[in-house]
Structure 1
Amino acid sequence: MERRKFVRNSLLAGAGLATASSVSPALGKEALKKNDFKLKYAPHFGMFKAHAGDDPINQLNFMADQGFTALEDNGMMKRDVAMQTKIGETLAKRNMTMGVFVVDKGGNMANTLAAGKQEYIDIFVDGCKRAVEVAKRVNAKWMTVVPGGFERRLPIGIQDANVIEALRRGAEIFEPHGLVMVLEPLSDSPDLYLQTSDQTYMICKAVDSPSCKILYDIYHMQKTEGHLIHNIDLTWDEIDYFQIGDNPGRKEPTTGEINYKNVFKHIYDKGFKGIMGMEHGNSIQGKEGELALIKAYQESDSF
């Protein structure tokens, strides 16, 4: 608690308070000068709401003003077409890259791809087709797919084959458009089929498509398997996207046990040019927390 007070007071003294309507001139100029980040960190909507307000476009402009060069929005497919178009236009104007959004019905506990049922595959294929249209509006390349839960009544090899065959159907849809579905192993439940990086690596190799790669979520993989740098190296040639969150708590770097400065440096030194999705919460609420979050990325990116 004392550390948080120290960080908060230091940030407020150094950066000053920003206005709620947009970026204050002092904060914007100072942050832009300092935040020449080495990697493409991608905030999400709501992360800077205290400074930028409720409007997604104002939030997007705030992100850009702080030196962030990408965005991710898991719920993009649920936004109306007008907002998707406006987001895409703003990203282009601010020279930002669109990160992942989640393929609607792209496999979940209720319609797991491991079951091999045609009705579930049809739902998945339909979601992939609709995702292509959304991707065009926001100039996206990557879409998150989670295969869903285990089908406990089937041997694991059969489940593997069912998932691989379904994902090949998705890859056939995405390949002509140069799009990539990134598979995310999760730690949320023991009932989820996709759990580890090596399992995801095997599936990507079997699908054998440039449109099926790994989303390596550092938070989830720390919980599930640890040995982050070692496992990143083992699966490197199939990783196309990273997500960030410290553990425990799933907040910004420096709030948990992961040495993010070392992890970021390793990823940077390997030549990664893709996106680092900031899929985590803020450890402190309000403007103070948003400034603390920016400071955490400044520290973790200073290698």
Structure 2
Amino acid sequence: MPTFSANLGFLWQELSLPDAIRAAKAAGFDAVECHYPYDTPPEAVRRALEETGLPMLGLNTARGNVTAGENGLAAIPGREGEARRLIDQAIDYAAAIGARNVHVMAGKATGDEARAAFLGNLRYACERADRVGATVLIEPLNHRDAPDYFLRTADQALDIITAVGADNLKLMFDCYHIQIMQGDLTHRLREHLAAIGHIQIAAVPDRREPDHGEIDYRHILRFLGILGYDKPIGAEYRPATTTDAGLTWLQAYR
């Protein structure tokens, strides 16, 4: 039976992060994950996790100057110092709350210099994460939701992972993004399984609840079971109305 993680970057946004963790437990999720928790004291998050018994699967590095349109710094040449401060912040926060994964945001960039910057920052991140037993994730984002983002495809991510050569660097396989950019999800899941650290789902093309649209997630979940994938699947979607009103998919997919 598949298990699911509530992505609290999108779900229960009207609640504080500790209360969103409690809401996820009440709704029947098996784990939680988040985006940018840094405005919440880690002690409050840890208390909510201990109270509910839910694991926190991961969090993202901060994006930088969001007002200026930044979406991560790790692949931006010349900003390695800033990027590594954000990596340190994320890994320290993850360690404080017991999170397993840190997603390093690449940012808007292109070309060989950007790739070199990303490789260097990922090597730094992997070394830092290894000290606390954490995994570093990288995630391809689609060109509609994240224009000009450096990392676009699973193939590009696998090339980066191979080049870095760290055992604790994995692919965040977001079915929503990869369907838009490449499609052929079952083939890619099978071929890339050993490199995958986390899988996320949302409807395509509207990024709403994963019970409609062009991806048959019942098939995807059955296929993952055949492959032996047994980690919680991240529900990273934008609710059509309220989070609670849209949760009928959760029990149906079990």
Q: Scaled by the length of structure 1, what TM-score is found?
A: 0.74
Shift of 1:76: 1.0
Per the alignment, residue 215 of structure 1 pairs with: 172
1:169 CA displacement: 1.4
Task: Give the Å deviation of 1:215.
Answer: 0.6
2: CA distance between counterparts of 1:46 and 1:278? 9
Matches within 5 A, 1:98-113: 98-105=56-63, 109=70, 112-113=73-74
Name which of 140, 148, 154 aligns with 1:197.
Answer: 154
Q: What code does the residue aligned with 2:198 have?
A: Y
Query: 1:170 is matched with which residue: 110, 121, 125?
Result: 125
Equivalent in the alignment of 2:215: 258
Q: How many residues in Structure 1 have an aligned counterpart in Structure 2?
A: 249
Cα distance per residue 1:93-131 (max 9 Å; x no partner): 3221102211124798477544432xx111111112122
SS in 2 for 1:98: coil
What is the distance in 1 between the residues matched to 2:205 and 2:146?
16
Match of 2:104?
145
User: Which residues of 2 match residues 13-162 of structure 1 at below 5 A?
Assistant: 38-44=2-8, 47-48=11-12, 54-77=15-38, 79-81=39-41, 84-105=42-63, 109=70, 112-117=73-78, 120-151=79-110, 156-162=111-117
Kindly provide the amino acid, as one letter, of the partner of residue 48 in structure 2: T
Unaligned runs of 5+ in 2: none
Aligned amino acid, residue 129 of structure 2? F
Alpha-carbon distance, 1:183 to partner: 0.3
Task: Tell me what 1:282 maps to.
Answer: 239
- Is the 2:80–2:117 contact (alpha carbons within 8 Å) kept by the matching residues of 1? no
Q: Is there any run of 5+ residues in structure 1 with no aligned partner, and where?
A: 1-36
Change (3 A) 1:75 1:112: closer
Q: Which amino acid aligns with 2:106?
A: P
Q: Which structure shows the bigger proportion of residues in helix conformation?
A: 1
Could you tell me which amino acid in structure 2 is paired with residue 133 of structure 1? D
1:300 equivalent to 2:250? Answer no
Displacement of 1:190 in angstroms is: 4.7
Q: Tell me the secondary structure at the aligned position of residue 243 of structure 1.
A: strand
**Offset from partner CA, 1:19-59 (integer Å, 9 cap, x none):** xxxxxxxxxxxxxxxxxx6223324266347xxx7344343
CA change 1:39–1:54 in 2 (3 A) is closer
Q: Does the Cα contact within 8 Å between 1:148 and 1:192 map onto a contact in 2?
A: yes
Structure 1: which amino acid aligns with 2:122?
A: L
Structure 1 counterpart SS, 2:152: coil
Is 1:234 the counterpart of 2:191? The answer is: yes
1:185 matched to 2:140: yes
Once the two structures are TM-superposed, the CA of residue 195 in structure 1 deviates from its matched residue by 0.3
Provide Cα deviations, 1:225-245, integer angstroms capped at 9, x if missing partner: 000111112211111011111
CA, structure 1 residues 105+54, in 2 after alignment: closer, same or farther (shift >3 Å)?
closer
What amino acid is aligned across from residue 23 of structure 2 in structure 1?
F
2:2, 2:233 within 8 Å by CA — same for their partners in 1? no
Cα deviations by residue, 1:241-263 (Å, 9 ceiling, x for unpaired): 11111111101111211100111
Given that residues 198 and 235 in structure 1 are in contact (C-alpha distance below 8 angstroms), is that contact kept between their aligned partners in structure 2? no
Moved over 3 A (4+): 53-59, 105-116, 156-159
Distance of 2:43 and 2:60 partners within structure 1: 17
Cα RMSD for the two superposed structures: 2.4
